[in-house]
Structure 1
């Protein structure tokens, strides 16, 4: 083993499994060892272990003997684990005092876990001595002491005992005082040489594997939740350059020792199928079988691989035909326990497989990876800190981009860095561009058009809005772009695209017709265009109201010049998409874009839509920042029958008092959003009865319509309604009886409806709710009966209500992820709260008479964020430390008296990174690094009774208000772990 002192300090451990503490590894991956010697240093290091080491070293075999082999900078526990995992052969030397070292026992257990080749050497002990019996045995005293000390959990001790018992049956070598050590040494060395010849060589993964361990753990966690008894096919999906192949190689290296038949086929898309089939046969069966073509090869593979237990990786697959050729019957005839890993950019290739989606590196990982490639160390010099951050932002978490860009900068000066930064902001490095362009070139024409539209206009936009626009061109392939990992749809149903893909799309859009102009800078170039222009974005959200309901100051002097001064009117009538702002057009603008399908107009100051605007083909109408709008169009006008979405926001003035009577003629309308800002409102108190004829309506948003008194009696006729937002409709008191007919509702927001009273059976027929917001509903004292029947509910906000109790069976909401509770009448929380096993965020706010939290709080295994503010809570429940996934803890304005995470816990808070204490009665803080190994920040504010911070991890940053410590009467700072 790695030599360890026989005296083990209380806080010293070698592997994170001993106390459950995960340690971060160094990013630099060392050259792997051939042999790892697990031994008790004080027994054999200067004798047999040393002899084996020097004999093998003389033969050129790289041997790991003890921890002195490691660089001082290595994090010892994780570094030992990495070395043990990388070694081809493991030697375990069992001596009389072997079991007195928990390091030795933990290493042995780990060696078995990774299914390595282990050669046991019994040094003055017999194999039978390892077969543990409690009352007798060579190692009885050592284990008795472990049990008496209570430092290690019983499960851990049992695991060590089982490891000893299992290895005692392995074929090895015995040595006694009468043995010839020279003969023993020769036999051991000969066997090691033979074993090394037979061992499969691991793949080269990455020089700086930052974030790789996290990705492997994430992959295995998702995979372990499935039934893996039969042959398993797992897909790793992601855009080009995101690290799919790197992860696949690491998984292969960690698993191949458990398989007799393995193969890793690189770059499947680039190679001939029959050549790949031949390689697969050679790798798995060590056979070279001639055949004519891929069809014959498929038949041979089907027969030869039947019932075999195999590990196969197919890298960069882009066509299901490739899978059919390399995996006949999609692996169904392979032996039990087989594992097939497929990497691809195209999710459609994996329709019948489980898929793991690659995550982008987080900001810390991205910075570390970038710095290893740019500086060959994990952090930048102080002078480069700002530049590094700008490059990281530009790379947007894409590993390929981080590596390529950082490699370009290695050894360069600050001025050269600044020059490169300006260059890559305009043009992608060729290696990145080539990788991403492969995905674009593989798209069909409609898919390419959608890709370019997204890159130029629709990043951050709602998916439904874009679909309404593309419907006019009969393009319906957005989902294909999602499956090919070129586009993502986030939880808010907004379209997302990686910055590099966006930049690639915009670069292509400049080259091809019809042109797409996505920035105001391009407006001056419009006159030079002599081809069709598909869309113009002549206003940006950096200076006008944003469609996501964020607002920005309007700077009129930044608008481009009026259209008639720059646009080639010859192509104006072909325009499909238009985003403008302010007084962009004169009243007598000499053109009518008859094909316009999307109009977004910021700072709209007219009383009605201009006469030159053709409504015939309009699908989406958005008017932001209106102040003078009195009517949308004349009552006798032809309504825009193709309209799908209408969004209007008001910032000042008196906006129209009623909907046009022809509203019912908009048969295809799916979304209406009327939103007020700055206390302004739409001045209608009721919706017209005709409104209820909008049978296609799915989304209705009437935010801050403070004059709204009621909904039509026929409101339930809107049978397709899924999203209803009546936030801050302060005069709304009751809902019509027909409301129960809205059986497809998924999103319901009554926040700020102060006078609204809900009938107990209002949710009687509604079973598909995913989001329910009742914060600020002061008239609500009790939740509707059917609230706990909402099996799909994911978010429930009940802050600033008059609730006297929560349902005793609230734990039935098995999919609830976010819960906010706040009522000054709430005295207790039900124990069933602990049954909300999907809960990730819990906020308890303004519950002043609530003095304790349920004992079941610790059952919330997935909880990440816990906020307790303005309550009477004095202490955290006993089970609090079981919150293994907790990341942030905020306690504010509570009479909490102590925060003690000091002792070595049974359940460490492994993921807790930030603690925020504000206005509490806490007088002592004790936080052990063993309890909170990843804690980064402790924020303290207005905790006037704080007298002592007893223990704190040395890596924690304490954030204090200026002069805070000086205001405390007594203060003692203890030790840093």
Structure 2
């Protein structure tokens, strides 16, 4: 169904063909590939084989071996062109061996010289090359060295006479019986026709370029051009979505500028950094012959070997300086440094891991690295660690994941040998891709694993994907983990196992080490994304699965630091393991929507002195039944080491009186049906608390004292129907950004002022006993929701709602209205008693009249207001 797929070559969905006969498979794919023409990305299709040799050279040894040919070989070798000389063949080998070699070579150079036609072997090779040209399009570059082309092509030239003398009526010595001509005349004609076919190809002659060194230079440049034309740059590989990425790198390279530039391609393992670097390398090295170029592969892996880095550096600079056997210490010689400073280069350093590697590659002087090579030089690094790039002033390009369309195209090619999966396989394909999350490496691995398999196999495979580690993927990703320090490994496992999707500020407070989190981001082990709650930390699903596989390597349950498996958690908490073992347990993560009911004894957590993270939760917006029942009288103990406590539908009236919550960064007891207070004695200072969520605790009568909670940012109390008042110090929380008191139906009063300068979101809907809205000092306000709350006078803060914010007012008590912010995008004013709109002055009236178009404007039940607003907002309706 598809050709052979290689995990070791390109990471961006490369379609690699190892046998020239596989070209036919590509041709059979044409129809499905044409179906992709409407999509906005480029498909690159390979039309050549993966060659063992770049060039096959046919020559007359006695004429040119020790002279012209030897100099040509040296020049080709300097350009890293891999050559096969015909004298590497044993003369006794049959012509079929030669055909195989030609198939494995990109092109042939035939050096016609004075006595070339006197050699039966040379003529046999030319005949075979001609045959290969006809059968599979083999390319040939003829070189006429001290011989006129007409002598080769004319029927009565010196070559034709040599054939007559040499063969006469005899068939060629090495030609197999099946190839023998039936008549001597036909046999001679075949030799002449082969010579003409090869000699008539575009080539070079010493008559036109008389100096050998110039002729050799022309030949080498010609070979390079031809190899580039046959290389992946010319619609060579199926590289999904590559055009946009190449364009992004090209803008940073700015090849038309005569300045020294370093470009860093940064991203997670398996995302396609090496592929992108290779495409750019192939493109520009083919266009810039005067620039020295070199591609250093797999630096990190090579450095694991003894003297690995020294070997890389010496080979690199030996090539650039065209010197053999340079010792590592010899690179400090000032003369060599001087030569390098005049050398314009295009270099790629693939998989750079550490600052030490960078220093050695740039000969130990990062500060003067811009002067190491000549102006106009370009260096591309690929790395998972952004930090090493900042030390040399690199321009950084973040290599991101494939988007959903690109992922589907790549998966279709690897799983079905076509651009898109068949319609009846589309649902299963999307299931596989939901796990890959745009990782080209994962898509290739899973596509190849599922190719040619039936649907039953697919269903079984997809069911096991999250339980069974995938070696080809995890081995690549684990290299990033292995490069971390001890503390970084611990933090990464915490984030990957427990904290993905968490607000960044909470994690910073949790760790008290901002730099550690930034290091993990720099090393592509997590990313920071922004949503309506602020900056959140996300971890790719593949990294999360790798993290859990690392944790699960701890074989004994009582020795595992982190637990997610439902059966393991049940066993730990309901048996003697919790008291006699479990001291190593640092985190427990349980999705209640997937769990069975569990009954905990009062001392269930007694032995867990290292527990920092406890999360019994229902996913967002999902409210299920009670799954974890606490014994009558509640828990006797919770570890004071807890910093993260999420327990949805907690079944006791309060947390244990022995529990000290001072270390808590996050506390969420959402939906706890009988809870009245968080703890019985108000003695906690909660200095570390950032997130407090007690929403839908319908029997909650009081919230904790927050006078010491200077770091609190999120306070969620919606649906606390028994709550009658808030502590007055809520108004003085300096970092508060979100306050939700929706559906607090018995709440009677609010602080007069909310003084936080960071406040963005205030929700007071359906609070029937609240009649006045606090004054809001924040200039960051984005959302104010007063729906069905009998507030008569509105705060002046609504005039300053930020760009893109929204205001929702609904209730018969609202009778006045202050000027509207020109930034408002959503305006809902439903069933109010409003009869007029007030303005401070004519400028306010003019500002309202110039409001931009609303995304959402709802004036239902306000006929007078509708007319009033229409008068001034005509352009916005």
**TM-score normalised by the chain length of structure 2:** 0.62
Question: Are residues 1:211 and 2:241 paired?
Answer: yes
Verify the 8 A CA contact 2:653 2:677 in the aligned structure 1.
yes
Could you say what secondary structure the match of 2:379 adopts?
Answer: strand
Report the equivalent of 1:431. Answer: 472
Distance apart, 1:561 and its partner CA:
2.1
Q: 2 CA distance for matches of 1:748 and 1:292?
A: 61
Distance apart, 1:477 and its partner CA:
1.4
Report the equivalent of 1:522. Answer: 568
* Change in CA separation of 1:574 and 1:319 when aligned onto 2, cut-off 3 Å: closer
Q: 1 CA distance for matches of 2:389 and 2:782?
A: 35
Question: Are residues 1:633 and 2:663 paired?
Answer: no
* Change in CA separation of 1:762 and 1:698 when aligned onto 2, cut-off 3 Å: closer
Report the equivalent of 1:670. Answer: 712
Report the equivalent of 2:298. Answer: 267
Report the equivalent of 1:596. Answer: 642
Where does structure 1 lack aligned partners over 5 or more consecutive residues?
Answer: 1-19, 35-56, 63-87, 90-181, 544-557, 789-795, 812-817, 826-846, 855-870, 872-977
5 Å matches for 1:737-752?
739-740=776-777, 742=778, 745=780, 748-752=782-786
Question: Are residues 1:256 and 2:285 paired?
Answer: yes
Distance apart, 1:244 and its partner CA:
0.7
Report the equivalent of 1:421. Answer: 462
Report the equivalent of 1:369. Answer: 410
Question: Are residues 1:389 and 2:430 paired?
Answer: yes
Report the equivalent of 2:45. Answer: 28
Could you say what secondary structure the match of 2:465 adopts?
Answer: helix
Where does structure 2 lack aligned partners over 5 or more consecutive residues?
Answer: 1-36, 55-102, 109-138, 141-196, 206-214, 303-307, 618-625, 831-836, 838-844, 861-868
RMSD of aligned alpha carbons: 4.7
Question: Are residues 1:197 and 2:223 paired?
Answer: yes
Question: Are residues 1:296 and 2:338 paired?
Answer: no
Q: 1 CA distance for matches of 2:335 and 2:424?
A: 61
Question: Are residues 1:800 and 2:828 paired?
Answer: yes
Structure showing greater radius of gyration is: 2
Q: 2 CA distance for matches of 1:756 and 1:318?
A: 63
5 Å matches for 1:656-735?
656=701, 659=703, 662-664=705-707, 666-677=708-719, 681=721, 683-684=723-724, 687-695=726-734, 697=736, 700-705=739-744, 712-713=751-752, 715-716=754-755, 718=756, 721-726=758-763, 728=765
Q: 1 CA distance for matches of 2:259 and 2:741?
A: 53
* Change in CA separation of 1:427 and 1:296 when aligned onto 2, cut-off 3 Å: farther
Report the equivalent of 2:483. Answer: 442
Q: 1 CA distance for matches of 2:655 and 2:357?
A: 55
Deviates more, 1:303-312 or 1:368-377: 303-312
Report the equivalent of 2:82. Answer: none
Q: 2 CA distance for matches of 1:300 and 1:714?
A: 73
Deviates more, 1:493-502 or 1:326-335: 326-335
Q: 2 CA distance for matches of 1:362 and 1:258?
A: 31
1:244 to 270, 273, 276: 273
* Change in CA separation of 1:590 and 1:760 when aligned onto 2, cut-off 3 Å: closer
Q: 1 CA distance for matches of 2:445 and 2:44?
A: 17
Question: Are residues 1:407 and 2:438 paired?
Answer: no
1:484 to 523, 541, 546: 523
Q: 2 CA distance for matches of 1:448 and 1:701?
A: 36
Verify the 8 A CA contact 1:533 1:571 in the aligned structure 2.
no
2:370 to 318, 322, 332: 332
Could you say what secondary structure the match of 2:593 adopts?
Answer: coil
Distance apart, 1:564 and its partner CA:
3.1
Could you say what secondary structure the match of 1:542 adopts?
Answer: helix
5 Å matches for 1:884-923?
none
1:772 to 797, 802, 805: 805
Q: 2 CA distance for matches of 1:387 and 1:230?
A: 50
2:616 to 564, 574, 580: 580
Distance apart, 1:399 and its partner CA:
0.9
What do residues 383-433 of structure 1 show as CA deviations (whole Å, max 9, x unaligned)? 543433322222222111111222233333444434433443322221211
Question: Are residues 1:349 and 2:388 paired?
Answer: yes
What do residues 365-389 of structure 1 show as CA deviations (whole Å, max 9, x unaligned)? 2122122222322233455434333
Q: 2 CA distance for matches of 1:643 and 1:621?
A: 11
Distance apart, 1:453 and its partner CA:
1.3
Q: 1 CA distance for matches of 2:734 and 2:871?
A: 47
**TM-score normalised by the chain length of structure 1:** 0.56
Q: 1 CA distance for matches of 2:430 and 2:416?
A: 14
* Change in CA separation of 1:218 and 1:776 when aligned onto 2, cut-off 3 Å: farther
Could you say what secondary structure the match of 2:585 adopts?
Answer: strand
Distance apart, 1:344 and its partner CA:
0.5
Q: 2 CA distance for matches of 1:675 and 1:610?
A: 21
Verify the 8 A CA contact 1:273 1:294 in the aligned structure 2.
no
Report the equivalent of 2:316. Answer: 280
Q: 1 CA distance for matches of 2:644 and 2:417?
A: 50
Verify the 8 A CA contact 2:851 2:873 in the aligned structure 1.
no
Could you say what secondary structure the match of 1:246 adopts?
Answer: helix
Verify the 8 A CA contact 2:248 2:397 in the aligned structure 1.
no
* Change in CA separation of 1:296 and 1:749 when aligned onto 2, cut-off 3 Å: same
* Change in CA separation of 1:578 and 1:312 when aligned onto 2, cut-off 3 Å: same
Verify the 8 A CA contact 2:820 2:848 in the aligned structure 1.
no
Q: Which has the higher helix share?
A: 2
Question: Are residues 1:380 and 2:421 paired?
Answer: yes
Report the equivalent of 1:554. Answer: none
Distance apart, 1:22 and its partner CA:
8.2
Report the equivalent of 1:906. Answer: none
Verify the 8 A CA contact 1:310 1:338 in the aligned structure 2.
yes
Verify the 8 A CA contact 1:316 1:344 in the aligned structure 2.
yes
Distance apart, 1:246 and its partner CA:
0.6
* Change in CA separation of 1:647 and 1:688 when aligned onto 2, cut-off 3 Å: closer
* Change in CA separation of 1:387 and 1:358 when aligned onto 2, cut-off 3 Å: same
Number of residue pairs matched by the alignment:
631
Distance apart, 1:30 and its partner CA:
2.5
Distance apart, 1:702 and its partner CA:
3.8
Could you say what secondary structure the match of 1:250 adopts?
Answer: helix
Report the equivalent of 2:583. Answer: 532
2:601 to 539, 564, 575: 564
What do residues 461-486 of structure 1 show as CA deviations (whole Å, max 9, x unaligned)? 22333344334xx7961221111111
Distance apart, 1:314 and its partner CA:
1.4
Report the equivalent of 2:544. Answer: 502
* Change in CA separation of 1:823 and 1:310 when aligned onto 2, cut-off 3 Å: farther
* Change in CA separation of 1:784 and 1:234 when aligned onto 2, cut-off 3 Å: farther
Report the equivalent of 1:322. Answer: 357
What do residues 232-282 of structure 1 show as CA deviations (whole Å, max 9, x unaligned)? 222111111111101111122222234322222111223333333334335
* Change in CA separation of 1:29 and 1:669 when aligned onto 2, cut-off 3 Å: same
Verify the 8 A CA contact 1:723 1:748 in the aligned structure 2.
yes
Q: 2 CA distance for matches of 1:605 and 1:308?
A: 74
Verify the 8 A CA contact 2:349 2:382 in the aligned structure 1.
yes
Report the equivalent of 1:310. Answer: 345
